[in-house]
Amino acid sequence: MSAEATNPEARSEARPELRRRGRTRLDLRRLGRAALLGPTSRDRLPDAIGHVAEAHRAHHPDADLSILRRAYVLAESSHRGQMRKSGEPYITHPLAVTLILAELGAETTTLTASLLHDTVEDTEVTLDQVREEFGDEVCFIVDGVTKVEKIDYGAAAEPETFRKMLVATGNDVRVMSIKLADRLHNMRTLGVMRPDKQARIAKVTRDVLIPLAERLGVQALKTELEDLVFAILHPEEYEHTRALIAAHAGERDPLPAIAESVRVVLREAGIHAEVLVRPRHFVSVHRISRKRGELRGSDFGRLLILVGENADCYGVLGELHTCFTPVVSEFKDFIAVPKFNLYQSLHTAFATSDGHVAEVIVRTRQMHRVAEAGVVALGNPYATAAATAAATAAAAASGATAGSAEACADPYEERVDPTRPGWLSRLLDWQQSAPDPDTFWSVLRAELAQDREITVFRADGGAPATISLPGGASCIDAAYAQYGEAAHGCIGARVNGRLTSLTSRLSDGDTVQLLLAHDASSGPSADWLEHAHTPAARIAISSWLKDHPDGAAATTTAARAPLSVVGARGGGGNAVADLPDATVRLAGCCTPVPPDAVAGFVVRGGAVTVHRVQCAAVAQMRSLGRTSVAVHWRATADCRVTLLAESFGRPHLLADLTEAIAREGVEVVSATVEPPVEQRVRHSYTLQLPDATGLPALMRAMRDVPGVYDVSRA
């Protein structure tokens, strides 16, 4: 039973500006008394849910309302005698929650479950009775909404409650739709609670439920919840904003005149559109005032233009930008690139001749419905409209829907909602591994604070072909999303074909190839946590570092000086200069080998330095007027060459590379390893080959060493 209930009239009278414009406030106290007084004929809907039926028929004209009547009768009889803290009958609460959902366009099954959402928790009604009377679908949703734990867990109560809600939502988003409407009604009627309890409930609503409403696309609930929370947690700023809106109400509003100008422009262009002035809600006005300082008359609202087809949206945009002065920085196309919460619209702004700037939203009527109701507008995610209607009719005729008796026994494992968004799948994946309620709670809040989602493509062609990540995610997040704990061995990535470090941020549409080390001792470093944004990545990295303190310490040691290994041999290899008794040296800048075309130049001391003809030093010598010396190769096949190997840092890499070189029968004359930069290491090897023809095979062998991504001539 919801304890956060009080007199709805008192709340609306205290803050009438929070009423939704155009909505008739119902006298729920009167409806509750009517529900308790007198029998209702079984061949018609009870008077108390007449408003629900009217709102439901506005969205679903052909809906069969008989199941709503039966659900109301069961809810009213089971809650009879229970009262809210304000003294009104408890049935007024499920009625109000159901009316909120009906106004958003929820389908009949959702409304039925909404009427019954507290019966299993707070009355003698059981899930078996709900299943027998209303079928598996309603039973499943009611079971998902029911608060399983009835005892007070103290500080851990809210995290555990929301963990269960999260899992239930993953199985059917209609569960969260009912929970959001439930919280909205409780927030509307929060006035009789103690101030400290009001603040606690408002903070949870702000931190978790409002972000969930945003992510589920239910803007109508989200905006009203924001205003109610704003009034409780920031009363002074709320009063200041209320005063701004009240002062604006007494002034001339320029938006109606601008809207009429837009109507004329669109009418002349032959575009059928509805142009509305949409006032901003309190929190929106507060944000605009903080951003812009002194508010202008046009800042208190926006123009909403509704059209029939997608193409008309762009037609409207063209006319606005042609006939008015557009503010280019304000243009956003959420039709071509929808937001992660189903939202689609065109956003723009233009300046009028008298200096006003009007912000404009352009969308189709279907986009508008989805923008307001989000997942609620999707209806039943498990059936087509025809199947839903057939199931409802069958339930009305038989009193139950066909299905397995175990269908709602465990709502957390039976099925997965096909409309589940990517962010919800991620939350469900990591919540199972969250070690304790506090970690779950903090990470959940951080995840919900992300207001943007990106999609990246896998370069390996594996399934799934795409990975959904929050905005700002790095290659580290992609690695853990794709490989789970196996990502501990990730040593690098290619993004759009280019090598990059794991800490690189990803953009929407990037193609990612992740490179894993074959060394079982490889693991993440502590600095990965600074670049990991997803809960799954952060929890996995933290767990590994906790289990491997030595490994974590080793990865954070200070950069070392370059390591050099120098052999005993030197000289010009098998190069011979056409200069008697001259000492010949192979240039270290290009390390020529047979059969490279070469040129020699005399340097100080009479020695001849041999370069490849493509070497930049050759062009420089000739530009200075230096005469080259003819050089040729001896018949012997051995040669000396310098190779550069670039790799991702990992344990035992130097040993593996030198072992690969030795297997090819090549002698290491000298080797230099530079300090790692962004987990990448550069190696330089001067090698003595017994046969120059073995150079390609040697380079392939070095590239095959795990972690090495490139080997080239110096």
Separation between Cα atoms, residue 468 and residue 458, nearest integer Å = 11
Phi, psi of 708 (to 5 degrees): -85, 125
User: 224 near 20, Cβ under 8 Å?
Assistant: yes
Question: What average pLDDT does the segment 603-616 reach?
Answer: 81
- Select from 115, 14, 1 the least CA-distant residue to 56: 115
- Select from 60, 66, 87, 146 the least CA-distant residue to 394: 66
Residue-level pLDDT at 575: 76
User: 481 near 423, Cβ under 8 Å?
Assistant: no
**Residue 4 predicted with pLDDT over 60:** no
Separation between Cα atoms, residue 438 and residue 19, nearest integer Å = 36
Please state the separation of Cα 556 from the chain's center in Å.
30
Residues 6+ apart with CB under 8 A from 446: 535
* 269 secondary structure, DSSP code: T
Residue-level pLDDT at 235: 92
- Select from 107, 27, 105, 94 the least CA-distant residue to 67: 107
Question: What average pLDDT does the segment 231-253 reach?
Answer: 88
- Select from 489, 476, 485 the least CA-distant residue to 543: 485
Separation between Cα atoms, residue 214 and residue 89, nearest integer Å = 32
**Residue 386 predicted with pLDDT over 70:** no
Residue-level pLDDT at 679: 65
* 641 secondary structure, DSSP code: E
> How many C-beta atoms surround the C-beta of residue 672 within 10 A?
16
Q: Are strands 628-629 and 598-602 parallel, antiparallel or unpaired?
A: antiparallel
**Residue 567 predicted with pLDDT over 50:** no
Separation between Cα atoms, residue 642 and residue 187, nearest integer Å = 73
- Select from 338, 345, 337 the least CA-distant residue to 363: 345
Question: What average pLDDT does the segment 484-498 reach?
Answer: 82
Residues marked as catalytic: 121-122
Strand partners, 639: 689
User: 661 near 710, Cβ under 8 Å?
Assistant: no
- Select from 637, 647, 636, 631 the least CA-distant residue to 685: 647
Separation between Cα atoms, residue 138 and residue 144, nearest integer Å = 10
Q: Is 234 exposed, middle or buried (0-12, 13-18, 19+ CB in 10 A)?
A: middle
- Select from 80, 353, 372, 90 the least CA-distant residue to 219: 372
- What share of residues in the chain are helix, strand, coil (percent, to 5)? 50, 15, 35
Kindly state the tokens that stand for 479: 């690695």
Q: What is the pLDDT of residues 110-163, one digit of tens each?
A: 999 999 988 888 888 888 999 999 998 898 888 888 753 343 334 445 556 566
**Residue 45 predicted with pLDDT over 60:** no
Residue-level pLDDT at 383: 55
Residue-level pLDDT at 258: 93
CA dihedral 281, 285, 286, 288 (to 10 degrees): 140
**Three-class secondary structure of residue 458 per DSSP:** strand
User: 46 near 73, Cβ under 8 Å?
Assistant: yes
**Residue 288 predicted with pLDDT over 70:** yes
Kindly state the tokens that stand for 392: 């409802």
Question: What average pLDDT does the segment 65-74 reach?
Answer: 90
Question: What average pLDDT does the segment 645-656 reach?
Answer: 78
Kindly state the tokens that stand for 332: 């956003």
Alpha-carbon distances of 23 from 99, 364, 476, 600, rounded to whole Å: 11, 22, 48, 91
Separation between Cα atoms, residue 180 and residue 218, nearest integer Å = 9
Q: Angle 422-431/437-448 helices, nearest 10 degrees?
A: 170
Q: What is the pLDDT of residues 83-107, one digit of tens each?
A: 887 778 888 899 999 999 999 999 9
Q: What is the pLDDT of residues 664-707, one digit of tens each?
A: 888 888 888 887 766 678 888 888 887 777 788 888 888 888 77
Q: What is the pLDDT of residues 445-463, one digit of tens each?
A: 666 666 677 778 888 777 6
- Select from 64, 116, 68 the least CA-distant residue to 94: 116
**Residue 640 predicted with pLDDT over 80:** no
Indicate the pTM of the whole model.
0.63
Identify residue 279 by its one-letter amino acid code: P
Detail the DSSP E strand segments found in 8-83: none
**Three-class secondary structure of residue 500 per DSSP:** strand
